[in-house]
Structure formats: C-alpha cells, structure tokens
Chains A and B, each alone.
Chain A
Amino acid sequence: MRMIRRLGLTGLLATGCYSGLGADGDGNPAGSGANDDDGGGSATGPDDGPEQGAAVPAGGMRRLSTDEYDNTLRDLLLDESGSGSALLPADPRTPFDNDLDQQIASQALIEGAYLLAGDAATRLLGDAARRDQVVGCIPDGAADANCFTQFIDRFGRRALRRPLTDAERTDFLALLDYATEAGDFYVAVDTAIRTFLQEPEFLYRVEVGEPVPAEPGLFRLKDHEVGTRMSYFLLGTTPPDWLLDRADAGELADADGVRGAAVELLKDPRAKARIARFHALWLGYEALPESIELSAAMREESDKLVERVVFEDEPYSELFLSSSTWIDDYLAEHYGLPLPGTSAWVDYGDSGRAGILSHGSFLSAFPKFGDTSPTQRGILIKTRLFCQEIPPPPPGVSADDKPPATEDAFCKEDVAAVHSQGECGGCHMQMDPIGFGLENYDQTGRYRTHETDNPETPQDESTCEIAGKGSVPGIGEFRGPAELAGLMFESGLVERCVVTQLYRFAMGRAQLDANDTEFIDVLQERAAAPGFHFSDLALEFVAQDGFRFRREETLP
C-alpha cells in the first residue's frame, strides 16, 4: 500500500466513479489550485534545452486510436456510445493500437470522423440534461452570444487541449449566425461540435514545441503538449481541466511539475482502464476467443491483478509471482481451484500457478491445430516478455500446416523432437522448451495431465502424458507458470522488456531507433531495477527530459 499512502489514492479509489466533467463541472481534483487563466497555450518555462546527454526520441503527430477517440468523446460530451470503434477503420495492432507508422489518413477515416461528429452532436442535443452540462449555460435566446462564447471557450479548450487563438474564436463564434437563421441556439452548438470533432488537432495530437537554441532539430514541447502526452499515456483520453489549468500556468515545464501532475493522473479512476489496456494489448488478451462468459471472467481476473499490483503499489514482479488470483465460482470451477463463494482473492496453494502467466487470458493466446502450441507460447514469451526477435520460419516450412505425426511420434514432444532437427532446431529450441513447460495448462488455463485428443487424427492424443517440464534456454529449467515467472525475474530480462513495451505504448512507436533505446536504457537504470514498482516507472517515464522534448523525425 506504499503508493496509496504516498499519493493519497485511497479516497479516490474508494469512491470509484468518475464523471467526465467532474463533480464541480471542471474536473478539478481537490486542492489542485487550478485557475482560469488560459495562458495563451505557450510555453512559459525556461528556454534551456534538455539535460546534457538526455535521450530525446523523435515524435510525430499521432492520431487518436479508436479507443482513445471513444474515451475522448465520453469525457468531452458525456457520450458513452463507443461509436468510434464501429465507424473508424480498425487500428492495426503491433501489438499496441497506436503505432504512428501504421496511421495513414484515408477516405474511410475522414468519412468515419465526419459521420461520427454529426452523430455525436445529434445525440447530445437530443439529451437536454447532458446538453446543458456540456454547454455550461442556458441561452436566453437563439442569438445569445454570451452563452455561445462561454461554450466555445470552454469546450474548445477541452477539445483542442489548449486555449483557442483569437482567430479560431472568431471562426467559431461566426457559427452563431446559423442559430440566428434557424431561430435555435443549439444549431450553432451542433455546428461547433461537428467542427471541433473534425479538427485535425482534435483527431491528431499535434506536437510542435519551441526550438531549442543551438540544438537543430530539437524542440521543447509546450506545456499543453506535455499535458496532452501525459493524459493520453496515463488515462487514454483528453486532459482534464485541472491539467489544462496547470499547463496554462506553465506548471508542466519541468520534471517536478510533470511528475506532480502524473501523480494526480494515476489517482484518476480512468488510469485503471488505461493500464489494464496496456497489459491486455501487450500480453495478447485484448480479444479473448472464448465464450462471452468465460472471456469476461478471465478478463476480470487479469484486470484485477493488474489493478492490485499497480494501484496498490506492489512490486511489479507480483504481476507474475502473485500467489493468489481474483476469481468467482465459475472461473474457480473451470480452473479446478477452491470455490470462493463470491468473487474474491483465492490462494493458489501448491498448484504450481502464480501470477498472470497462470491466467486463462494469457494462456489462451495463439493456440494452433485445436490445442495449445508450445511453439506459439514460446514465441509469445520470447517476443513480448523478453523482447527478443524470433525470425520467421525458413523456406520450406509452413507454420499453418501441422507437423505430420507418425505412428511412433504423435505426442507433441515426440513430434517436436522429430521436426526440430537440422536447421529448424536452431530456432525451435529457443521457443518450444518454454512452451512445453506450460503444457499442463490447456488453452483455457485448465490444468491437465494428458494432451487433448483431436478426433480428426487417427491417433488418440489423450494417451499422451504431459511431462510438463520446460526450460528457458540459457537460463534454467522450470515446471509451470510459477517456476517460469521465477526464472524470468532471475534472468533480469523482464525488467528491461517491460520498459520497452511501455515505451512503445506511451510513444506509439513499434520500431525503435537509437534515440528510443537510449531513452529506454536511461529509464531502466533509473526506475526498473529488480523489485521496481510500476508507478515509479510511470512517474519516472514522464519526468524524463525526453518526455518534454521531441526530436524532429527523419524522413525515410
């Protein structure tokens, strides 16, 4: 409970729910000292560059992912429709959903955004209570310029994540003519919302910054740009008003200011969903291919563990080493664990399970040929948890075709032994032994002693006893998730990989260059030593100079 005490999270976590505009209508945290000075959106901090030798990654304008779009609509318009996921093109997963290199403007995107903006405005105006909350004032007539100006200033700042310029205000205020013409104030509101939701600066997080003197290609981000970066990183949505206030006041210009704001952001209930999403994308359980009931139970199990480790501030290794899990009777029965009677933390005992590697969510990833695939599980762990590259199969090997069994070799380990000879062995010996150590757990996370029979094959695989013995090449042997997790942390590989994956997620970059890896190196050294806490890592991440600066991208 270290961070709860340190950050005062307890009250917020206990009260739970979040209202998009906040209890006071501005989303201000208690005692934030937020003010109404718009500050003009320009940086007010020192003009010096980053700390000598600080790693500054390249940054480009990133489009909101569909998830971020839906979150942003929820918080701007109190709109829970989640309609972006239905009408915008799907975001490619690499494995995260915000990879800058994959974001290409298209007719499908523009048409989707156009339709979504109109839908959102129409829905809002059809709900008087919600409309009044978002508009923030009650007009005294169709042409109430005062109310419309208040709305434009307040909503525009939230939508564009900075105060509007005078020229922009003029453009938006001119829309009041439509209200006059129609004799309906809300026609102008509707038109303004349609406009804001299609502004490139709404759909993209445009970062420009101020040039750093004598450092060509280096820019110090403005406070609003920093606030926006932080908010989408930690909340997956638009900055709350109090954060915009701090940006207006120039309080995000240095590491202390950014760190302090990040502490507040992590107290926001929306951070839980964001951090849960990071883990689901990273570990491959965002879309579980099980029944709806089983998928929901598995997802809750993993989300609860992530929440406990991150927000009750346990050492991050507990995510993998935890001796208990959050399950209800349905999932307990599925796993063959003691029934808790209600959703509760249940001790694994000496079952051989520990942490998230025992969850059905993780174990359901990438099965093949109707059963678990030791190779695929090995690839998952090597690439996602060790951040190691696995080359594609060499010519002459199809990963879609099941390796042929023989009368003498149809159990998986025997088949693998036959087909991992020669040139295949070099790679397979890096993957398969890891997967074989998890073979006692089927693709839904149930314990088993024998392989699952495939009725379409002539052999009876249920006669294949699973040895359950695995190894991480070069590191050690293990049986089951608990021992594998122990080995992982003994190896020291996981800490660096967590930092790398978090970096990819936070910065929207799947392919890393030298500046990226330098940033990761520094961050790992400062915040990801054995026993580290995720909150410390997140706070140190945003406090790095590289987070408040950007390097100009080089064209390919």
Chain B
Amino acid sequence: MKPFRLDRRTFLRGAAGIAVGLPMLEAMLPPARAGGDPIPKRFVTSWGGISLSGYSAGGLVVPSAAGPAYEITRGLKPLEELGVADKVTIVSHLLLPWEEDGVMPPGGRTIEFHYNTLGPQAAGTHTGPARDGAPKGPTADQIMGDELGGDPVFRALAYRVQPASYSGGNTIGGNNGRMSWRQDGDDLISVEPIVSPRVAFESLFTGFVPPDPAEAAAAALLLRRNKSVLDIVDRHGSGWLDRLGAADKMRMERHLDEIRALEDRLNQMQPELANCKMLPDPGDDWPIGEAFLGDGNSYSPDAGYSDEIGRNEILTDLITMAFVCDRTRAASIMLTEWKCYMNMFNFGGWESDMHELTHGKGPEESVADAVGFHVRQFGTLVAKLAARPEVDGKTMLDHCALVLFLEGGNGWNPESLVENSAHSTENMACFVAGGAGGLKQGEHIIATNRHPGEVVLTAMQAVGHQGGLGELTDPIDEMRA
C-alpha cells in the first residue's frame, strides 16, 4: 500500500530542480540545532570499475596542468555540464603499489589486476592472495558511519547503481558488486548493497507520514501491522536458535540481527527537520538489461544497460535526503561493478562495453567517455548536495567529503609486463568533492606516487577522523587549504 506515486519523469524533474540551484529561501534552511550543535559532517565513497585509460597516462581525462580552474577535458565535460567543475577536485598521478619480490607494500596489491584494487583504496589494506580482492579491513564508509554519529539505525547507506554484470556465462553477483565491508567483532563482513531504487526508497522512508491525511492514516495502520509481522517473525526465528547447530545458529542470528535492524527502522519517526520529507515514490525499477557481448559479432545496442542514469538519479536523491533528514552521515555508492561490462552505446555511441573499450575495442575517446560516465554520476550527487543550504550560509556540500576512486589508471602492467596498459595502478586519479575540513574544491592536484587510499584517508580526516586507514597513515596535505 503506497502513500502516493508520481510518474517517474515527474519525480526526476522534481529532483533535478533541486540540483540546478534555486534561490535559497529562508524556509529551506534547517532549524538551528539544539544547544548550538555543529552542522554535521558527511562522508561518501564511490567506486567505478574502469581504468583511467588504456592508452596514455592521463588519458583524455586528467588536465595537463595543476591548479584551480583546470582544463575541462573530454572526460571532465560532465562536471561542466552539471555546473560543479569548481567543486570537484582531481587528485592525479597516484600510484597503488604492488607486490614485488615477495614483498607486499602497505596498501599494496598482488600483481593480478581487477578485483584487488578496491581493498587498498576503500580500506587501505593490501589484498590477496592472487586475485582475491576482498579488503582485509573495514572500509572508509563504514568507519565513518561509526564515527560521524547521527542516527545509528541508518549508520551507513550502501547502494549500487549498476544492477547486473551483463557479461553472461554465469558470472553474477558476489564481491564483483560490493565495495563496503564492516567489522563485526572479530568478523569482517561484506555489505551487500541495495541495488533496487524501490527497495532503497522504501527502506529510507518507512515511518514517514504522507501529507494527505487519509493516506497518512492508512500508512499508520499498515506500519502497525508490519511491526506485528516482524515481531512474530523475530520470535519464531529466535525459537529456532536452541535447536540449531553452531553454523546454522550463526546464520539465523545474523538474519535476525537484520530483522531487528529493520524493526528499528520501522520504529523511526520522521525527523522534524526543515526540508526533511518523503520524496515521491520512484515507482517500479527499470528492467534489468540483458546479457551481451561487447566484443562479439552479435552486439546489441539495447542490451547491457538498465538505465543507470535514472537509477543514479534516484539513489543520489535518497542519499541527499538521508543527509537532510540526518538519517545517516555516511554512504557508499558503487557506480559500476568491478571490471564493468556496461554497454557504452548510450554514452557516445560506442558499440562495446566499458571493459573492452579499455582493451583496444575503442579509441582513447571511448575510454574517456566511460570515465566521463562515472564523473557524471558522481557529479550528480555533488550538484544535489551543493544545492542544499545550511544554517551557516554555506551548503551541505561544504560540510561533506566525497571521494570517487576507480579500478585502475594507466601505465606499467606488472602482470603481463607491458606499458600503457589499463591493467595498471600507475597514474591513477581520484575525484574529491566537499569543503569539510578545508578540502580544496575545484582544483587539479598532482600528487605524484601518492597512494589513492591516502586520498580517501585525507577525506576521512577532513570530516574528523583521527588516525590512518588500514595500513595507510599519511594524508595528502596538499588536498587541504
């Protein structure tokens, strides 16, 4: 039973309206916080399963010169179109080191490429063995979810935009689609992101009261029934615990933990904060695209795409409103899976997938467009946060730290011993937004051979984190004023 439902286009138009910078009205400002509480800091990590280039060190993305007002390259064009080029900083010439002569550097990777570059950046830990890329410690979003405070019920949102692998041949799911790991006692647990915009919407706004009185009454009754449902489910599940073996008991306990977390979410009332409101129901999800071959002779422009642009619009709206409502202060949003096979036809007319484009299926421009796709998705969130005023006259973005990091850079490939490879973690770049802690905005910073995980660490420290990230300890001072 849904409170109300708007046409998706209506919803997106409305959401986009927020992003184009309407005048800040008094009524839009959140109320002063009790006791003069400081404006909350927020933190977001984002990942793209693409390398910067398959051709040259900076590709057609990284500006040639350092400094503010950087050159708008082909890959950065979306930032200009979204009006946030002056808010997004590029940190380039980064190096994610790899194992050599049996010695693994801090935050290093094994020489095999793809699944093992996320952990060093997201968690600051080395990865391995071989191609096993799972981080060996909690990721930055989860750490900051613990540290930034706010509503513990929504400690850290975890979303993914690309809903499926598209590659066929049963290569679906698992760590390919995860970027967040949390520490639970001695256990390090992968966090399955919410992929469905509908599920994400329902999860975030459960407990909100629709404006229409009749709908509000119906929603209240449904909420009460749903609480009864979960109460029964919890009791019945708990009744099994004494009868299960140790392994099943752990599985059941974990399931019940998640049920109780849902019960907690249902018990949350709508926060009484200005502008905190339920967004229009996004409706059913877009269909998930069919499998396809980016390098085959039966290429289809219609397959391998599930309207990731629309999905990102909704998920970034939800992150923004979650911040406005102070439901969470940390989030991760995985834009594409590792080794991304998304069809690029809709982004430049390239008749292939992102992965194949980095391996010579398309020219350098096509790889820049693939990177540009990620930049656009990231920039969309930046624009929405920049359009949200805060009581100090600044914007929500000014109190945030956001980082987009990518799977690879360009350069030496220690696995196949070739230069100019997309399977390289030389010449990597990260995209940073937000003004928390004096983070510079709208600059190109050359940080030669610094670790991309140190970019993440610097962003964490900008919102108050003390100490390091995994095996990394040194922030990049040039990123902060």
* From A86, A195, A365, A398, contact of B169 by CB (8 A): A365
A204 cross-chain contacts in B, Cβ below 8 A:
251-252, 255
Chain B contacts with A in 247-265, Cβ cutoff 8 A: 247-248, 250-252, 254-259, 261-262
Which residues from chain A contact B191 at a C-beta distance below 8 Å? Answer: 106-107
What sequence of 0s and 1s flags, for each residue 125-136 of chain B, a beta carbon within 8 Å of any chain A beta carbon?
A: 000001100000
CB distance from A549 to the nearest CB of B (A): 14
Q: CB of A243 within 8 A of chain B? A: no
The answer to whether A110 touches B258 (Cβ under 8 A) is: yes
Residue numbers in B under 8 Å from A108 (CB-CB): 158, 192-195, 199
- Whether A111 lies near B194 (C-beta < 8 A) is yes
Q: Which residues of B contact A396 (CB under 8 A)?
A: 111, 415-417
* Bound Cα distance from A527 to B334, whole angstroms: 47
User: Bound state CA distance, A188 and B169, in angstroms?
Assistant: 44
B225 in contact with A86 (CB, 8 Å): no
Contact B293 A289 (CB under 8 A): yes
CB contacts (< 8 Å) of B348 on chain A: these are none
Residues of A within 8 A of B195 (CB): 89-90, 108
Interface contact A60-B258, CB-CB below 8 Å: no
Contact check, B262 vs A555: say whether CB atoms are below 8 A apart: no
| Contact (Cβ within 8 A) B258 A109 | yes
Q: Does A208 contact B (CB under 8 A)?
A: yes
B171 touches A107 (CB 8 A): no
* Residues from chain B with Cβ under 8 Å of A405 in the complex: none
Closest to A90 in B: B173
Given A112-B196, A206-B240, also A90-B252 (CB < 8 A): no
From B284, which residue of chain A is reached at the shortest CB distance?
Answer: A86
Q: Within the complex, what minimum Cβ distance (angstroms) separates A114 from chain B?
A: 6
The residue on A at minimum CB distance from B341 is A289
**Bound form: Cα–Cα A555–B202 in Å:** 36
Task: Count contacts between A and B, CB distance < 8 Å.
Answer: 234
Q: Are B229 and A369 in contact (CB under 8 A)?
A: no
Q: Interface stretch among A91-99, A310-318, A409-417, A516-524?
A: A91-99
Please provide the chain B residues from 177 to 204 with a CB less than 8 Å away from any CB of chain A in the complex.
177, 189-196, 198-199, 202-203
Contact status A104-B190, CB under 8 Å: yes
| Interface magnitude class on chain B | 35 or more
Which residues of B318-374 are within 8 A (CB) of A? 355, 359-361
Q: Is A87 an interface residue (CB 8 A)?
A: yes
Separation of A157 and B258 alpha carbons in the complex (Å): 25
Query: Is the C-beta of B170 less than 8 angstroms from some C-beta in chain A?
Result: yes
Partner of B296, one of A95, A103, A370: A370
Q: Which residues of B contact A105 (CB under 8 A)?
A: 251, 254-255, 257-258
Q: Say whether A343 faces chain B, with CB atoms less than 8 Å apart.
A: no
Q: Residue of A at shortest CB range from B175? A: A92
Q: Are B194 and A178 in contact (CB under 8 A)?
A: no
A289 and B174 in contact, given A61-B251, A86-B285, A397-B416 (Cβ under 8 angstroms): no
Q: Roughly how many angstroms separate A402 CA and B421 CA in the complex, as a whole number?
A: 12
Chain B 271-296 near chain A by CB (<8 Å), digits 1 or 0: 00000000000000100101111011
B243 adjacent to chain A (CB < 8 Å):
yes
A200 near B236: Cβ-Cβ < 8 Å: yes
Q: Mark A429-456, 1 if CB is under 8 A from B, else 0.
A: 0000000000000111000000010001
What are 28 A-B contacts with C-beta separation under 8 Å? Answer: A60-B245, A60-B247, A89-B192, A91-B172, A92-B172, A92-B173, A104-B189, A107-B194, A107-B262, A108-B199, A110-B262, A114-B226, A191-B229, A194-B229, A199-B237, A200-B240, A201-B240, A284-B169, A364-B168, A365-B168, A366-B169, A395-B415, A398-B423, A400-B113, A401-B413, A443-B296, A553-B247, A555-B246
Besides A289-B168, A291-B298, A442-B297, 14 more A-B contacts (Cβ < 8 Å) are: A89-B192, A102-B174, A107-B192, A107-B203, A200-B240, A201-B236, A204-B255, A392-B112, A395-B112, A396-B111, A400-B423, A443-B293, A444-B298, A552-B247
Binding site for A on B (CB under 8 A): 1, 111-114, 130-131, 158, 164, 167-174, 177, 189-196, 198-199, 202-203, 221, 225-226, 228-230, 232-233, 235-237, 240, 243-248, 250-252, 254-259, 261-262, 285, 288, 290-293, 295-298, 300, 303, 355, 359-361, 413, 415-418, 421, 423
Chain A residues at the B interface, C-beta cutoff of 8 Å: 60-61, 86-87, 89-93, 95, 97, 102-112, 114-115, 117-118, 122, 168, 171-172, 175, 178, 182, 187, 190-191, 194-195, 198-201, 203-204, 206, 208, 281, 284-292, 294-295, 364-370, 392, 395-398, 400-402, 442-444, 452, 456, 552-555
